[in-house]
Amino acid sequence: MKYKHSNICTRCGSERIIKKTWKEKVDNSVVENVLMICPDNACQKIVEMRIQKQRDKNDEIRERYEERAAQRKVEREKNRKTLKKN
């Protein structure tokens, strides 16, 4: 299938271009992926740095969440053991 893609760069506002397309099989479906980039290489590098910074931030938040969840689980187990002893 051919689609007219209209994708504007979030930083400079120019129309992004297709760098790569590929297909993946997911369960019983075939998914077509399109990687679009800014035609200005310097702008694209800045956008990629921003995206990586956001990914790192999200990973850090997820790690803290998982640590807090594990700590809550430990605390619950301690409370259960305390209640059983009494």
Q: What pLDDT score does 4 carry?
A: 66
* DSSP code per residue over the chain: -------B-TTT-PBPEEEEEEEEEETTEEEEEEEEE-SSHHHHHHHHHHHHHHHHHHHHHHHHHHHHHHHHHHHHHHHHHHHHH-
Tell me the one-letter amino acid at 76: R
**Would you state the structure tokens that stand for residue 73, as one six-digit string?**
């689980």
- Domain definitions of the chain by residue range: 17-85
pLDDT tens for 6-58 read 789 989 999 999 999 999 999 999 999 999 999 999 999 999 999 999 999 99
- The predicted pLDDT at position 82 comes to 82
Confidence of residue 84 (pLDDT cuts 50, 70, 90): confident
Predicted pLDDT at 55: 98
Predicted local distance difference test score (pLDDT) of residue 3: 62
Sign of CA dihedral 32, 22, 41, 50: positive
Per-residue pLDDT, 80? 86
Read off the pTM. 0.66
Residues 6+ apart with CB under 8 A from 9: 15, 16, 38, 40, 43, 47
Q: If you search the block for the tokens 């059983």, which residue do you land on? A: 84
